[in-house]
A and B are shown apart, each in its own frame.
Chain A
Amino acid sequence: MKKIIAITTVLALMAAAWTGCGAGGSSEEKGADSSQTVATDGSTSMEKVIGFLSEAYMEEHGDVKVTYNPTGSSSGIQAVAEGRCDIGLASRDLKEEETEDLQGTVVAIDGIGIIVNPDNPVADLTLEQIGMIYTGKITNWKEVGGSDAPVVLIGREAASGTRDGFEEVTGTKDQCQYSQELTSTGDVVQTVSGNPNAIGYASVASVNDTVKLVSVEGITPTTETIQNGEYKVQRNFVLVTKKDTPLSKAAEEFFDFATSEAADSLITEAGAVPVER
């Protein structure tokens, strides 16, 4: 009897919600003192970098609050253009029409390493080969100079920033034929190290020696080759600001901090590569 009552209650609630929902809208509160708040908005891939930077910054400047709204690069750029945030975050370079009123400053570089099992003889791939492997056009390692074995594609979950970056650079957006979608870099490395046929991708900083880092078009990913752009599987993390309107004092200080040498170790810690100075 009790169960029946419980079920009826749930069903009644569902019916009620069905008819009368939409009430649970979004009434986001703005910071009380906006002069002491630095609002950032944009790329979900930059979550870690911005997280490390803002945390360290707020620790030193107790009165300043750095907020981060993960909406995606394009909406971040739009937000800063419309003045809805102080600093926009983009994990791609600005397009030409966007540079009219906006200024992009590279804060860090995201280097994505292509990893295979140490037993795999393949040591170098071209960008095109990587794209063909991940879209399922190449399914056997012998087609790229390896042994006669099927390729096992290891990737990240759909919402991952690393996946977003990888698919963007290799031109495989929404076409990858993954056989595993894992939820952390560590899982990817672990899985690739346990399967001789696997290929995966991970931030270069988090690759260890249980897997083999493949060079891309002859270039091995190192801090130098990523900084000078020779290594291709990379993209810029960009801070976007308005050209004509100056930043608030707090935002400017945070901006200077993020682009200073002091931020380099934080950026490395967050798994990205600092820019060359």
Chain B
Amino acid sequence: MEKVKKTVKWLEKIMNLLFLACGLLTILFVILITIFLVISGIPAIRNIGIFDFLCGTVWASTAAEPLYGILPFILTSVYGTCGAILIGVPVGLFCAVFLAKMAPRKIGGAVRNVVDLLAGIPSVVYGLAGMILIVPYVREVFHLPDGANLFSAILVLAVMILPSVISVSETAIRAVPEEYEEASLALGATKTETVFKVILPAAKSGIVTAIALGTGRAVGEAMAVMMVAGNVANMPKLFGSVRFLTTAVASEMSYSSGLQRQALFSIALVLFLFIMAINLILGVMTKRREQND
């Protein structure tokens, strides 16, 4: 008896250590990536000058006299993400309202399954679909010479952020106490009025979290936008060929050398800081929501 107890105790201890080790490993990865990015990203910024790097409007990394201005990439990423949010969030939010409040059980289940499926589609498939379906379509509808532009990228990104927006805001809407809705309906408000004036305001912080999550996803996407955005380092125009921060790194990394390579690391660092900022906002939002509950 004594012996068995002792073995169990040992096992407990070992398992505890194992869990701890795995936990620490995750932290280690984050720290390693951070250190790596910072160390490899700083030299080029110092070399080029932080102002020329962040505010320069010309990127010509392989020219005889190379220029490394990443403002076009930063603005493209910001505009592209905002555009995707502008289109994707209303659609996702209304879909969440439908799922949480209106959908008959069977249809709701089906829609939810499809949304989960959407989340599981690899981004290269989104890119391929965008390249073959959206790009020619955009070209024809808007009578453009070429359909690979910021607008196509926004459309693809809008679809890609849908799953996270839908699932997080659905949870938030479900968390609104039933009494609010009943009270509103009892006072004679219609269902639509209840949704817009009672439920959505009450679920506000959860919806903001959904938006932040969608933003994170859109900022970090590389593969899909690379295939539909045209990838020319122009200052962003809605119907012009553009390059995102992510695609700037991805498209040149394989051949680059010297300062060009270092500059790509610096772009990655800028992107990393962007994502950190979004995560920070997300963290603050979640905390505030916990406090509200």
Contacts and interface: CB of A to CB of B under 8 A. Distances in A.
Interface string B248-264: 00111011110010000
B145 A152 contact: yes
B183 interface: no
Contact of B131 (A14, A174, A190): A190
Contacts of B135: 191, 194
A193 to B, nearest CB: 10
Contact of A179 (B43, B232, B251, B255): B232
Contact of B254 (A22, A24, A159, A195): A159
B161 interface: no
A98 to B, nearest CB: 20
Contacts of A157: 231, 251-252, 255
A152 B227 contact: no
Given A17-B42, A152-B146, A180 B230 contact: yes
B147 A181 contact: no
Given A7-B276, A159-B256, A195-B139, A21 B39 contact: yes
Given A179-B148, A181-B231, A197-B145, A158 B61 contact: yes
> Size class of A's contact patch?
35 or more
B255 A194 contact: no
Of B132, B148, B276, B283, most buried by chain A (CB within 10 Å of CB) is: B148
B43 A21 contact: yes
A248 interface: no
Contact of A180 (B35, B60, B146, B256): B146
Contact of A13 (B38, B61, B226, B284): B38
A183 interface: yes
Given A14-B38, A21-B43, A197-B145, A181 B255 contact: no
Contact of A17 (B39, B148, B227): B39
Contacts of A70: 255, 257
Nearest to A69: B257
A174 B252 contact: no
A178 B39 contact: no
Contacts of B43: 21-22, 24
B146 A198 contact: yes
Interface in A106-138: none
A44 B132 contact: no
Interface in B170-229: 226-227
Interface residues of B, number: 43
A71 interface: yes
Interface string A164-195: 00000000011000111111000100110011
B255 A44 contact: yes
Contacts of A182: 231
Interface string B37-61: 0111011001000000000000011
Contacts of B226: 183
Contacts of A9: 31, 34
B63 interface: yes
Interface in A26-75: 44, 70-71
16 contacts: A3-B279, A3-B283, A3-B284, A7-B276, A44-B255, A70-B255, A159-B254, A160-B255, A179-B146, A179-B241, A181-B243, A187-B131, A190-B132, A194-B131, A197-B145, A198-B146
Interface of A: 3, 6-7, 9-10, 13-14, 17-18, 21-22, 24, 44, 70-71, 149-152, 157-161, 173-174, 178-183, 187, 190-191, 194-195, 197-198
